[in-house]
């Protein structure tokens, strides 16, 4: 029983859920201008975990043929047989229905509608349509990962605002320089599975150059948030310093790519730096409203 439960949990990709929730709560605090209340915070995070778990499980169900080919994913439950395809499909659909109903009953209808949109964007938009057809899959498909900030904002306010859309832009532009280094590391895996991630079909220099461009747009969005949401000194300092640090990491990757040192790109350093960067920015967003000035 323990192994079976562990397999179902693995289908939901808990580490991805954790990253998504890291952006939700700070957004709620910003929308509320302080603590949004324990019940609303817990209800939104629980619903968000269900929704992300649903999307990730359905992603595993659809991509089980790819996961079988790629060394990085060969131990996933659907590949090992720990969970059958039918069990995974039912589990993913049930999680999705529960998530949408949960938001509609315990949060609000707007948040429920955005949750449905997020699931559809990831499962249909990214997994079914974009992933196997275009090298820009993670760019447009990554919009699903931006939805938690809209859901968190709407959970507090019952609607959306310019600040929420700016936060959407931050994560949208952050996604390529976050995911492409991982794709560079596992380029052979994606190539063997015929998934046209940009690092598979383009030169490392082109990928790194685009990462720098997306990084600039991402940092610009973090700075736009300052006047739009009335952010204070802590967020401003963090956005500037963390942005400069992460851009330096991206530029370093570009310089190594230009130097044509195969196997020495150290792309995973940029991948891990991207997670640290996003965490720092959203921690600053969460703390800033509590400061007196």
| 158 phi-psi bin (left φ>0, alpha ψ -120 to 50, beta other) | left
**At which of 132, 160, 188 does a domain end?**
160
Q: Phi, psi at residue 235, to the nearest 5°?
A: -65, -45
Strands (E), 82-220: none
Quick one: tokens of 28? 């709620």
Contacts within 8 Å (CB) and 24+ apart, 234-238? 234/284, 234/287, 234/288, 234/291, 235/284, 235/285, 235/287, 235/288, 238/280, 238/281, 238/283, 238/284
On whether both 165 and 153 belong to a single domain, the answer is no
On whether both 182 and 114 belong to a single domain, the answer is no
Closest CA to 192 of 85, 60, 56, 72: 72
- The answer on pLDDT for 261 being more than 80 is no
Please tell me the distance from the alpha carbon of residue 279 to that of residue 34, in angstroms, as a whole number. Answer: 19
On whether both 194 and 259 belong to a single domain, the answer is yes
**How many C-beta atoms surround the C-beta of residue 247 within 10 A?**
18
Whether the CB-CB separation of 15 and 139 falls below 8 Å is answered with no
**At which of 133, 160, 187 does a domain end?**
160
On whether both 176 and 219 belong to a single domain, the answer is yes
| Total structural domains within the chain | 2
Q: CATH no. for residue 268?
A: 1.20.120.1780
On whether both 6 and 136 belong to a single domain, the answer is yes
**At which of 160, 191, 209 does a domain end?**
160
**pLDDT, average across residues 65-74:** 88
On whether both 219 and 278 belong to a single domain, the answer is yes
On whether both 66 and 207 belong to a single domain, the answer is no
Q: CATH no. for residue 19?
A: 1.10.357.140
- The answer on pLDDT for 262 being more than 60 is no
**pLDDT, average across residues 34-57:** 95
On whether both 52 and 120 belong to a single domain, the answer is yes
Rg (CA), the chain: 19
What pLDDT score was predicted for residue 263?
61
On whether both 148 and 30 belong to a single domain, the answer is yes
What pLDDT score was predicted for residue 72?
85
On whether both 290 and 177 belong to a single domain, the answer is yes
What pLDDT score was predicted for residue 43?
96
What pLDDT digit, counting tens, does each position of 102-153 carry?
A: 999 999 999 999 999 999 999 999 999 999 999 999 998 889 999 999 999 9
On whether both 91 and 235 belong to a single domain, the answer is no
Q: What is the pTM of this model?
A: 0.93
Please tell me the distance from the alpha carbon of residue 219 to that of residue 225, in angstroms, as a whole number. Answer: 10
| 3-state secondary structure at position 197 | coil
**Domain containing 74: what range?**
1-160
On whether both 172 and 267 belong to a single domain, the answer is yes
């Amino acid at each position: 029983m323990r192994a079976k439960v562990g397999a179902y949990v693995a289908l939901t990709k808990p580490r991805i859920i954790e990253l998504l929730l890291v952006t939700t709560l700070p957004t709620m605090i910003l929308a509320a201008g302080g603590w949004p209340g324990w019940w609303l915070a817990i209800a939104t995070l629980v619903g968000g975990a269900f929704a992300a778990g649903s999307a990730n499980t359905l992603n595993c169900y659809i991509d089980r043929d790819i996961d079988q080919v790629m060394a990085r994913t060969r131990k996933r439950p659907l590949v090992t047989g720990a969970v059958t395809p039918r069990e995974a499909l039912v589990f993913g659909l049930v999680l999705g229905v529960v998530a949408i109903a949960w938001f509609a009953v315990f949060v609000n209808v707007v948040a429920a509608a955005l949750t449905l949109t997020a699931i559809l964007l990831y499962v249909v938009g990214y997994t079914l349509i974009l992933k196997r057809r275009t090298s820009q899959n993670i760019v447009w498909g990554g919009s699903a990962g931006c939805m938690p900030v809209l859901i968190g904002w709407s959970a507090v306010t019952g609607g959306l605002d310019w600040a929420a859309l700016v936060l959407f832009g931050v994560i949208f532009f952050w996604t390529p320089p976050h995911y492409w280094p991982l794709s560079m590391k596992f380029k052979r895996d994606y190539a063997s599975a015929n998934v046209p991630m940009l690092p598979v079909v383009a030169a490392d220099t082109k990928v790194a150059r685009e990462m720098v461009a997306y990084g600039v747009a991402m940092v610009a969005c973090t700075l736009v948030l300052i006047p739009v949401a009335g952010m204070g000194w802590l967020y401003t300092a963090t956005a500037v310093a963390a942005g400069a640090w992460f851009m330096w990491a991206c530029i370093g990757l570009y310089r190594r790519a230009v130097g044509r040192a195969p196997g020495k790109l150290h792309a995973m350093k940029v991948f891990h730096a991207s997670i640290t960067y996003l965490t720092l920015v959203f921690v600053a967003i969460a703390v800033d409203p509590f400061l007196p000035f």
